[in-house]
Structure 1
Amino acid sequence: MTIFFTSDLHLGHANIIRFCDRPFDGVGHMNARLAELWNETVSDEDTVWVLGDVALGSLDDSLSWIGRLAGRKILVPGNHDRCWAGDRELRKGTAEARAARRDRARSRYLAAGFAEIHDEPGRFPVAGTDAVVSHFPYTGDSHGEDRYVEHRPRDDGGWVLHGHVHDTWRQRARQLNVGVDAWGGRPVAVDRLADLIDHGPRDLAPLAWPDATGHGRP
């Protein structure tokens, strides 16, 4: 069994194709290719931690892809996930109304195929250290100024595995971006992340998306 990490699939999100220069001619093409790349990489015996922003657009359609993805899937919600604790719709009304709305949102993602949902950033052992696991990095954003500052993990001098920044970097110092836009559309195995940690803090650019033949684009 292998542990993988990924994030920011943005299934069903048409604008992400242009925003991140993804090599697809439409949402249907993107969804199918992301599923293909996932299932070429992950087996049913593996576990995949999805660090947020899994699906947008028509959520019933987008979430239906989760059940087609191999492995045991664990979600750490991001700002675009309807079950994210910081979602403004989940913070409206009375405490009872908020709790009921949140339970319904979580149930929707669990029914789609996630085995677990972890609301708060946690830690995961990688290369002899307990790395923070969060949708958000310590600092940095794909839209300029840092957003959602109150939801970001505190930098305690350790490493963080995160998403949110798309193709802004693959590694920035002690921040490892596991998003599909940094890893050629595929989940990344924990052993590869351990190698990066062993090499120490540095800056690395995203890997290229594969073209239709499976090769990385120039």
Structure 2
Amino acid sequence: MIYFTADTHFFDEHLTHDLHFANRDFLTTREMNETIVENWNRVVTDKDVVYHLGDIAQTASNHVGHQQVLEILERLNGQLVLIKGNHDPRALFKYLDRHQTPLTTEKPKFVFHDVGLILKFDHHQFFLTHYPLMLGISVNSVNLHGHIHHYAVNSQTNINVGVDTPEDAYLTVKNRPFGQPFSQAEIMEMVTNKKIDFQKRK
């Protein structure tokens, strides 16, 4: 299976009590980190692929900081396809690439993209980026993105897949575990229900 997430911001002390920009309230970054790891591994297996659309962590951009990020990412199940966010230094990607170990499937643990990529499934074309894109009038094209935390783009062609997204309200299942990546089926449900919501507004 494939999954999608963004803006985990591991180790980011500024977000543990920031209810204005990010919808999370933890006593410590350790509590936040462990919650994400536990809820992630509850659904993702090492045979799955998770597209992480940027802002992985907030640590010092040095060996110690990069090692912290490596250690927590190695605890996450699945292959991680990492798209660079504004808080992801290029040096971190180089460090992860040098120190990664193959999965049991013999695939690399980490795959890297600086800007984004295009993915096609369920008769849709998905533009995977960190920053939201404005696609304009399009047919079956959707931008999956992060960056804006608990905000949503006022367009039916944009879906925020970050851990703080308000767009999980488009899902039938409410109160999803914090930090759990969105499955392909959940993405399609969000796309469909956001489109219906916008049609009702006309």
Please name the residue that 1:107 is paired with.
94
Q: Aligned in 2, Cα 1:119/1:155: closer, same or farther, shift over 3 Å?
A: farther
Please name the residue that 2:143 is paired with.
160
1:148-179 Cα offsets, whole Å, 9 max, x none, are xxxxxx54633100000111139852111111
Please name the residue that 1:7 is paired with.
6
After superposition, where does 1:1-218 map in structure 2 within 5 Å?
Answer: 2-19=1-18, 20-58=22-60, 59=65, 60-83=67-90, 104-110=91-97, 111=99, 114-138=109-133, 155=136, 157=138, 158-169=141-152, 172-182=155-165, 184-199=178-193, 201=195
Deviation at residue 64 of structure 1 after TM alignment: 1.9
Helix, strand or coil at the partner of 2:40: helix
Letter in 2 for 1:108: Y
Task: For structure 2, list consecutive stretches of 5 or more residues without a partner in the other structure.
Answer: 102-108, 169-177
Letter in 2 for 1:167: H
2:196 and 2:96 mapped to 1: Cα distance? 35
Q: Aligned in 2, Cα 1:197/1:35: closer, same or farther, shift over 3 Å?
A: same
Contact 2:17–2:26, Cα closer than 8 Å, also in 1: no
Q: Aligned in 2, Cα 1:135/1:43: closer, same or farther, shift over 3 Å?
A: same
Q: Aligned in 2, Cα 1:40/1:117: closer, same or farther, shift over 3 Å?
A: same
Give identity over the alignment, percent: 27
2:154 and 2:190 mapped to 1: Cα distance? 8
Letter in 1 for 2:56: V
Aligned residues between the structures: 169
Query: Which runs of 4 or more aligned residues in structure 1 lie more than 6 Å from their structure 2 counterparts after TM superposition?
Result: none
Helix, strand or coil at the partner of 2:16: helix
Q: Aligned in 2, Cα 1:200/1:55: closer, same or farther, shift over 3 Å?
A: closer
Letter in 2 for 1:32: E
In the superposition, the TM-score normalised over structure 2's length comes to 0.74
Q: Aligned in 2, Cα 1:170/1:179: closer, same or farther, shift over 3 Å?
A: farther
Letter in 1 for 2:11: G
Helix, strand or coil at the partner of 1:55: coil
Helix, strand or coil at the partner of 1:29: helix
Deviation at residue 6 of structure 1 after TM alignment: 0.4
Letter in 1 for 2:34: A
Contact 2:50–2:78, Cα closer than 8 Å, also in 1: yes
CA RMSD of aligned residues (A): 2.4
Q: Aligned in 2, Cα 1:155/1:53: closer, same or farther, shift over 3 Å?
A: farther
